């Protein structure tokens, strides 16, 4: 199937709905080994959405957090327009604190002014579907993680899985930087951060007219310019994905 994208709004819809659909498709087998998946669903694995009792496929923390990233960026943009100053990762951090609240954790008294907005009014977003440990444990702490003050040594997928909106909303170099800085809120290992920057950069490249493969190669070039030696790890994973495609 080929989806032709005609304008920017369609990029946003295509990316966010496509991400949610992929999340809903993969979630039922998220914690299964390959042989278990094949045993249960056949050689081709799971090829259709599994619906729950209400007739809907389920999304997980990945899609929930992506929505809060998008909300945070919209609020950051609004603040920049109204006040002329804004630190986007902090505004997105507040959005992630709202997400944490949806997962059943108490509101933080010292930032009680942040608990508002349309996402908190959507009851279905309060579903708890295997939220990532690194995200939850770092957001529960009183201080924020940064690139200088590492919050842990995690290089899990919890930062990259929520980072698509940076590439939708920002130019590619800014998307790369802000995605990495925001990843550092919850992931201290450079690979956990660079993967988020790479995804954001790739999506921005696609919006600028590159094909997916071209965007993947441009992202590899971008990562090669990084000082962090861990960019090698991120590059090799993108190369693996290209060779499988």
By the criterion CB under 5 A, which residues form the site for Mg ion? 60-62
In the complex, minimum distance from the CB of residue 132 to Mg ion, in angstroms, rounded to a whole number: 6
Nearer to Mg ion, 66 or 191 (CB): 66
Burial zone of 204 (CB within 10 Å; 0-12 exposed, 13-18 middle, 19+ buried): buried
Please identify, using beta-carbon distances, which residue of 135 and 223 lies nearer to Mg ion.
135
Q: Minimum Å distance from CB 204 to Mg ion?
A: 23
**Pick 27 or 215: Cβ nearer Mg ion:** 27
Task: Answer whether 72's CB lies under 8 Å from 94's CB.
Answer: yes
User: 3-state SS string over 111-151?
Assistant: HHHHCCCHHHHCHHHHCCCCCCHHHHHHHHCCCCCCCCCCC
- 62 or 226: whose CB is closer to Mg ion? 62
Query: From the CB of 66, what's the least distance to Mg ion, in Å?
Result: 11
Asked if 98 and 120 count as a contact pair (C-beta separation under 8 A), the reply is: yes
Considering beta carbons, is residue 24 or 235 the nearer one to Mg ion?
24
Q: How far is the CB of 129 from Mg ion (least distance, A)?
A: 7
What's the closest the beta carbon of residue 112 comes to Mg ion, in angstroms?
28
- Torsion angle defined by CA atoms of residues 102, 63, 77 and 144, in that order, rounded to the nearest 10 degrees: 60
122 phi and psi angles, rounded to 5 deg: -95, 105
For residue 190, the Cα-to-chain-centroid distance in whole angstroms is 16
């Amino acid at each position: 199937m080929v989806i032709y994208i005609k304008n920017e709004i369609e990029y946003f819809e295509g990316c966010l709905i496509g991400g949610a659909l992929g999340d809903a498709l993969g979630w039922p087998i998220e914690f299964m080994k390959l042989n278990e998946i094949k045993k249960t669903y056949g050689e081709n694995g799971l090829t259709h959405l599994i619906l729950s009792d209400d007739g809907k496929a389920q999304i997980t923390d990945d899609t929930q957090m992506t929505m809060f990233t998008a909300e945070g960026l919209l609020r950051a943009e609004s603040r920049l327009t109204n006040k002329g100053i804004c630190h986007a990762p902090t505004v997105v951090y507040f959005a992630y604190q709202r997400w944490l609240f949806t997962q059943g954790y108490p509101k933080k008294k010292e930032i009680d002014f942040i608990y508002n907005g349309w996402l908190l009014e959507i009851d279905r977003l309060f579903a708890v579907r295997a939220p990532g440990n690194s995200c939850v444990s770092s957001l529960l702490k009183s201080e924020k993680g940064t690139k200088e003050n590492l919050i842990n040594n995690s290089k899990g997928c919890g930062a990259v899985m929520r980072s698509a909106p940076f590439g939708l909303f920002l130019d590619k170099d800014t998307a790369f930087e802000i995605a990495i800085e925001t990843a550092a809120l919850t992931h201290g290992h450079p690979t956990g951060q660079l993967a988020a920057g790479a995804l954001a950069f790739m999506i921005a490249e696609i919006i600028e007219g590159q094909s997916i493969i071209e965007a993947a190669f441009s992202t590899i070039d971008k990562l090669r310019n990084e000082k962090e030696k861990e960019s090698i790890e991120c590059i090799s994973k993108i190369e693996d994905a290209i060779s499988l495609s």
